[in-house]
Amino acid sequence: MATLSVRSVEKSYALGQEPVEVLRGVDLTLEAGEVVAVMGPSGVGKSTLLNCVAGLDVPDRGQIEVVGQAMNTLDDAARTLLRRRNIGIVFQFFNLVSNLTARENVLLPFLIEGQTPDENEVNRALERVGMSARASHLPSQLSGGEMQLVSIARAIVKKPPLLLADEPTGNVNVETGRRIMRLLKDVSREVGSSLLMVTHNPADAAQTDRVLFMKDGRIHPEASLSSEAVSRTAVDERLSALGI
């Protein structure tokens, strides 16, 4: 069973009188443990796609299945549960809760499900991202890179089958970005999660198993790169061929 299956997904937003068609038939599949990058021009709908997969937004048409369960036909409450149990999310702007410490943010995935936090898992996650020494800091006392490391710990603490990352290195410096990318890839392997990551950074995309290119509301399967074909040069070539 695929970890994620997206079939013919369409999504429009109303902008004044005119609907803006953002997703116009998106198809993609992630097998267990795959690390896949999605690239595309700004405004093409990459975040919209991730939000639909996460059940934070709902497509107009099409099917989304996460670990074999239909995401988009569920009601709000059931969608929320499916997300909490199966998906870890790393956002572009971290989305940490500002009045909770780093450690408390990593406890949250347990608390929102009414579970007693597994202290060992929380410590292990903080340790794994190198943030144990900052565990009692508030987000405002952390750098952007450190906030992103904490949000990675929060995303992996329950070892979800699917990790989503939306431009995870977009708001940190280059050196930290490299570290975050390496970490995301390594932890998804360790935890056994599939990782779907949106990125503008060809160097980040070149480190994944497969690179998908989105243009005009669709993923172009003929442009995608997989296994040995994935390289920095090949990614750059595709981007310029597609005019991205």
Task: Report d(CA 45, CA 51) in Å as an integer.
Answer: 10
Q: Is the dihedral of CA 66, 69, 75, 81 positive or negative?
A: negative
Identify the CA nearest to 27 among candidates 71, 58, 63, 54.
63
Biggest distance spanned by C-alpha atoms of the chain: 53
Q: Which of residues 125-154 bind Mg ion (CB under 5 A)?
A: none
Closest approach of ligand ADP to the CB of residue 190, in Å: 28
Least separation, in Å, of the C-beta of 155 and ligand ADP? 19
Q: Return the residue of 3, 5, 47, 199 that touches Mg ion, per CB under 5 A.
A: 47
Q: How far is the CB of 121 from Mg ion (least distance, A)?
A: 30
Shortest CB 239 distance to ligand ADP, Å: 14
Number of Cβ atoms within 10 Å of the Cβ of 216: 12
Considering only residues 177-206, where is the footprint of ligand ADP by CB under 6 A?
Answer: none
What is the nearest approach in angstroms of Mg ion to the Cβ of residue 47? 3
Q: Token digits for 173?
A: 């410096």
Q: Which is nearer to Mg ion, 47 or 105 (CB)?
A: 47
Residue whose C-beta lies closest to Mg ion: 47
Among ligand ADP, Mg ion, none, what binds residue 44 when CB lies within 5 to 8 Å by partner kind? Answer: ligand ADP
Closer of 93 and 133 to ligand ADP (Cβ) = 93
- Site size for ligand ADP, by CB under 6 A? 12
Q: What are phi and psi of 36, to 5 degrees?
A: -125, 135
The dihedral over CA atoms of 41, 20, 54, 39, expressed in degrees to the nearest 10, equals -10
User: What is d(CA 113, CA 95) in angstroms, rounded to the nearest whole number?
Assistant: 18
Residue placing its CB nearer to ligand ADP in the complex, 160 or 217: 217
Pick out residues in 4-63 that bind ligand ADP (CB under 6 A): 13, 15, 20, 22, 40, 42-48
Q: Which is nearer to ligand ADP, 20 or 133 (CB)?
A: 20
Overall residue count recorded for the chain in this entry: 244
The interaxial angle of helices 144-156 and 174-191, nearest 10 deg, is 10
Binding-site ranges for ligand ADP (CB under 6 A): 13, 15, 20, 22, 40, 42-48
